[in-house]
Amino acid sequence: MEFIVGGYYLIQATESKKWMNEKFFPPLIWSASHHICEIYPDSWILPWVSDDNSSKERERNQEILKLGDDAFHAVQLEFNDLFNKDEFGFPNLFLSLAVARDFHRRYLKHLSNIKLLSIALADEYWEQFIQETVTGKKMGEHGIRTKLRARRSVEPEAVFKGFEVLGYNYGQFCSYICNSLQDDYSKKFGVSLNKDGLIDNYNDARKAAEYSIE
C-alpha cells in the first residue's frame, strides 16, 4: 500500500485526560487535531489572517516564542513569503520538511515535547480526497490539498508511528480521540491502540474510519 504525503506538523504533546478515557493512551499524546494539541505555528503566523481570535493568539504566541515586536513581525513576513512559495500551507501545515526543521531549530528549541510529524493518506483514497476538497473560486487552497496534489511518497527515512482516524474540515482535523471513539473501536472490532495511542494495522484503521463516518 502506497501512502501520499500530506504535509508536516510541529506538534506539542498534550497530557492524556480523563475525558479521553485515558486508560487507552500513554501519558503524552501527539495528535494532528488542533482540538487536542498545540500546532506551531498556526494561522496567526500569517499577517493577513484576521478573525476574532487571531490578535489574541498572536499576542500569546509571541510571548511563547520569546520574540520582540520587530522580530515577530519579521517572522510573519517570512511566513507570508513561504506561503507564496508553497512551502507553508494554510492554516498550519509545512509543505517543506526542511522549512519545518529550520523553524523548530530557530524558534522552538526551548519548548518541551515538540515532535515533527508527517501526515499521509493511503493512495486508494487520494483521488476521492482531491475531488471532495475543491475550494470555491474566492477561496484559496488549503495546504494539505496542495501537498497531496504533488503526489510525493513518504520519505524512506520516515518512522511509522501508527494510524490516526481524522475528520477533515477546511484544512484542519478532528481526531477520534475528541469523541472517545477508541472505546467503540475496541468493543465493536477488537481494535487496540499501540504505545503511541494510534492504530498499528491498516485494515483495522480502515474499519475504524468507515465506522466513524456512518
57-76: average pLDDT: 97
d(CA 81, CA 44): 15
pLDDT of residue 137: 74
Through-space distance between the first and last CA atoms of the chain, rounded to whole angstroms = 24
For residue 138, pLDDT beyond 80: no
Three cell numbers written together for 64: 511563547
pLDDT of residue 18: 83
d(CA 204, CA 45): 37
In this prediction the pTM is: 0.94
73-91: average pLDDT: 97
Q: What are the sequence ranges of the domains in the chain? A: 3-212
Helix (H, G, I), strand (E, B) or coil at 67: coil
Phi, psi dihedral angles at 203 (to 5 degrees)? -65, -35
For residue 142, pLDDT beyond 80: yes
